[in-house]
Amino acid sequence: MKVLITGGAGFIGSHTADALIERGDEVVILDNLSKPVHLKGIPPYLNPKARLIVGDVRDAKVFLDALQGVNAVVHLAAYQDYLPDFSTFFSVNSVGTALLYELIVANKLPIRRVVVASSQAVNGEGLYKCEEHGLIGPSARPVDQLERGDWSMKCPQCGRDAEWQWTPESFSHPENQYALSKQSQEQMTLSFGRRYDIPSVALRYSIVQGPRQSFYNAYSGACRIFALHYYFKKAPTIYEDGEMHRDFVNYQDVVKANLMALDNEAMIGEQFNVGGGKAYSVREFDRIVAKISGCDHLEPNIPGVFRFGDTRNSCSDISKLRALGWQPMGSVQQSVQEYVNWLNEQTDVGEIFEFAEKNMRSLNVIREAKP
Ligand SMILES: NC(=O)c1ccc[n+]([C@@H]2O[C@H](COP(=O)([O-])OP(=O)(O)OC[C@H]3O[C@@H](n4cnc5c(N)ncnc54)[C@H](O)[C@@H]3O)[C@@H](O)[C@H]2O)c1
């Protein structure tokens, strides 16, 4: 099979390329090596057996060229950031996906499968349970509540604290530019796929962890920030009270889900959560990174600051994909260990740290509570 991976020079795409090549498939990558993800050009980890086309998924000519002779597409190219350049999210993520289907339909391309990466971000805060009102899907917490240092999620009807739940695919409540663009990708995948008989699958990944995750992308999250701090024997800052819950999924489990979506007929026309199946508080996660980095003597700072737009909890229910035989096998400890090993192999960690710090400050998303 010949597979086109858009965004195949990135973290998940390059591992997916390796796995496909390993099993004997031919791989073409379409990637514009966008910054800051690829601050230093073509990444050295790229599989030499993959054909790299440097180009943009918004460029019809280059996209059509990349699709020639292809049997299946894994569409991963995306813009992910905290920046308020709202239109870029829709231009890359939504328009890129629309163009993919447009080219397949217009040129009657014999594509047997399209797998599109969605995100847990589509869930927003996800589902909660209120003692009195049952299951609810609340909006983001108001900033004035966070400024008072009150971190809990409240029931919008009675104001009582609500409890987070594992959120299934049937729920979505996107609340930022990235999530909205990802939801549009998911909807296009299911609608265009069904309408034009292009077998398609949408995968909603939770936070994916492992080596090759860009050090330069602010969106790479807690693993990068904690690991970088402990590398320099510094204590990281944890936002809110550190009791936010997340599920983390190992990159190899995501690769397995991608390959399964390429092969499994039962997945066609559906969206699936791809998560770790276990919830960790950010405090617990920090201790894992500290231990693996040999820094468990260092305590994190928890000064009561919060990050504008962060969800309180994000945990995906993975029973739908589990029912088809997929299981998350990689532990969080394993993912962090591999990430830390990879960080230790870098020769420019000082530069990476400085870039990360400066970037977060300039984004102006960290706010202080004044209880
Ligand atoms: N990593 C995660 O935790 C996570 C979680 C949920 C969803 N996802 C989704 O998974 C997919 C892959 O994410 P990743 O973590 O590998 O990110 P990544 O940034 O490492 O890879 C994305 C790749 O897309 C390329 N790209 C960006 N804009 C492009 C454009 N206009 N044209 C062509 N290529 C372009 C980048 O150069 C990069 O190589 C994305 O769609 C992302 O939204 C990732």
What integer is the mean pLDDT of 71-100? Answer: 95
Name the residue with the closest Cα to ligand 1, atom 7: 119
Ligand 1: centre distance to CA 90 (Å):
14
DSSP type of residue 238: P
Q: Please, what is the average pLDDT of the chain?
A: 94
Asked if the model's pLDDT at residue 364 lies above 60, the reply is: no
Ligand 1 atom nearest residue 43's Cα: 39
DSSP per-residue codes, 189-222:
HHHHHHHTT--EEEEEE-EEESTT--TT-GGG-H
- Per-residue pLDDT at 371: 61
The pLDDT-based confidence of 326 (bands split at 50, 70, 90) is: very high
Asked if the model's pLDDT at residue 361 lies above 70, the reply is: no
The pLDDT-based confidence of 117 (bands split at 50, 70, 90) is: very high
Highest mean pLDDT among 74-83, 329-338, 361-370: 329-338
Q: Which of 32, 38, 272, 316 to mutate to test the pocket of ligand 1 (most atoms within 8 A of CB)?
A: 32
Q: What pLDDT, in 10s, does the model give residues 249-307? A: 999 999 999 999 999 999 999 999 999 999 999 999 999 999 999 999 999 999 999 98
- Per-residue pLDDT at 308: 87
Asked if the model's pLDDT at residue 222 lies above 80, the reply is: yes
Q: What pLDDT, in 10s, does the model give residues 22-68? A: 999 999 999 999 988 888 899 999 999 999 999 999 999 999 999 99
In whole angstroms, give the CA distance from residue 331 to residue 329: 6
The pLDDT-based confidence of 355 (bands split at 50, 70, 90) is: confident
In whole angstroms, give the CA distance from residue 167 to residue 335: 23
In whole angstroms, give the CA distance from residue 261 to residue 111: 14
Give residue 67's domain range.
Answer: 2-368
Ligand 1: centre distance to CA 100 (Å):
16
Number of domains in the chain: 1
Determine what percent of the chain is predicted with pLDDT higher than 90.
Answer: 86
Q: Which of 11, 46, 83, 90 to mutate to test the pocket of ligand 1 (most atoms within 8 A of CB)?
A: 11
- Per-residue pLDDT at 214: 86
DSSP type of residue 166: P
Q: What pLDDT, in 10s, does the model give residues 167-194? A: 999 999 999 999 999 999 999 999 999 9
- Per-residue pLDDT at 89: 97
Q: Which of 5, 6, 12, 29 to mutate to test the pocket of ligand 1 (most atoms within 8 A of CB)?
A: 12
Q: How many other C-beta atoms are found inside a 10 Å radius of the C-beta of residue 355?
A: 17
The pLDDT-based confidence of 352 (bands split at 50, 70, 90) is: confident
- Per-residue pLDDT at 218: 66
What integer is the mean pLDDT of 92-96? Answer: 98
In this structure, what CATH number is given to the domain that contains residue 329?
3.40.50.720
Ligand 1 atom nearest residue 38's Cα: 37
Ligand 1 atom nearest residue 178's Cα: 43
DSSP per-residue codes, 86-128:
HHHHIIIIIIHHHHHHHHHHHTT----EEEEEEEGGGGTT--E
- Of 306, 369, 302, which is closest to residue 149 (Cα–Cα)? 369
The pLDDT-based confidence of 239 (bands split at 50, 70, 90) is: very high
- Per-residue pLDDT at 365: 61
- Per-residue pLDDT at 285: 97
Q: What pLDDT, in 10s, does the model give residues 133-144? A: 999 999 999 999
- Per-residue pLDDT at 19: 98
Ligand 1: centre distance to CA 296 (Å):
32
Q: What pLDDT, in 10s, does the model give residues 101-110? A: 999 999 999 9
